[in-house]
């Protein structure tokens, strides 16, 4: 087991918002996660915070599980998955939050899964002229980029500063490009200097090329929207 996944055990907890499956150790929390928001106290919201409808015995108030604000049933009727808060089942969200959560579904259902499955690359460290064939994947707790070959590296996601995807196939008149590699810069804990790694897709088998391209495309989307998802 990788050192970065030594504390991956999870526990089921019940909060006012619903059941959540969370890591037993806070240090194992995903950098893409969100904390549950504090709920606006009932006494402070006599009216719906969206349509201004007054709450009464018939018009009940509901709290959005993502923002914690208070709404009527009409403005907070959607139940949408919210993996960033580790909810087991879809939870009630206001229309605005539900739209955000639905857009994040692809990030969790596609990009993160592709990265966790991993792909094979030739990896070059710094200015070295030697490369090493390594399997690269996102750790189960989503906190580290794990590289395994003759060497072993664990790069903390929050320490990654830049991701540059290398492509080929571009023509002046336009045309499709294909991701063939990546240049990654990150900080090693305890150092302010940036370390660079270059990833080059393995050309050994056509299936590797396709898998590597998908992995790089997922990495590009994650890095492009990283500040939206990560707690920096």
94-132 pLDDT, tens digit per residue, is 999 999 999 888 788 888 899 999 999 999 998 888 999
Domains of the chain: residue spans and CATH: 10-114 (3.30.40.10), 118-169+178-219 (2.30.29.160)
Q: Which two three-digit tokens encode residue 202?
A: 């393995």
Residue 182 CA to residue 219 CA, distance in Å, equals 9
Task: Name the residue among 109, 106, 117, 110 with its Cα closest to residue 211.
Answer: 117
Q: Are 177 and 170 in contact (CB under 8 A)?
A: yes
Q: Are 96 and 78 in contact (CB under 8 A)?
A: no
46-101 pLDDT, tens digit per residue, is 999 999 999 998 999 999 999 999 999 999 998 999 988 999 999 999 999 999 99
What pLDDT, on a 0 to 100 scale, did the predictor assign at position 210? 81
Task: Name the residue among 128, 167, 185 with its Cα closest to residue 151.
Answer: 128
pTM of the model: 0.74
179-214 pLDDT, tens digit per residue, is 889 999 999 888 888 999 999 987 665 557 788 888
């Amino acid at each position: 087991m990788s050192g970065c996944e030594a504390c991956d055990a999870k526990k089921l907890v019940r909060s006012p918002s619903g059941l959540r499956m969370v890591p037993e150790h806070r240090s194992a929390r995903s950098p893409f996660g969100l904390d549950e928001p504090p709920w606006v106290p009932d006494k402070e919201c006599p009216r719906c915070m969206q349509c201004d409808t007054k709450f009464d015995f018939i018009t009940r108030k509901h709290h959005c599980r993502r923002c914690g604000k208070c709404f009527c049933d009409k403005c907070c009727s959607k139940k949408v998955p919210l993996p960033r808060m580790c909810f087991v089942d879809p939870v009630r969200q206001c229309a605005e939050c539900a739209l955000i959560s639905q857009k994040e579904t692809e990030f969790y259902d596609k990009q993160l899964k592709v990265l966790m499955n991993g792909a094979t690359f030739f990896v070059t460290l710094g200015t070295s002229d030697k490369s090493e064939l390594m399997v690269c994947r996102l750790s189960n707790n989503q906190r580290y980029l794990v590289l395994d070959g003759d060497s072993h590296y664990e790069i903390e996601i929050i320490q990654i500063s830049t991701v540059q995807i290398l492509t080929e196939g571009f023509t002046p008149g336009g045309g499709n490009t294909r991701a063939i590699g990546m240049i990654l810069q990150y900080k090693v804990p305890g150092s302010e200097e940036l370390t660079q790694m270059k990833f080059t897709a393995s050309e050994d088998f056509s299936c590797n090329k396709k898998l590597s391209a998908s992995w790089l495309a997922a990495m590009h989307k994650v890095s492009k929207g990283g500040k939206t998802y990560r707690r920096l």
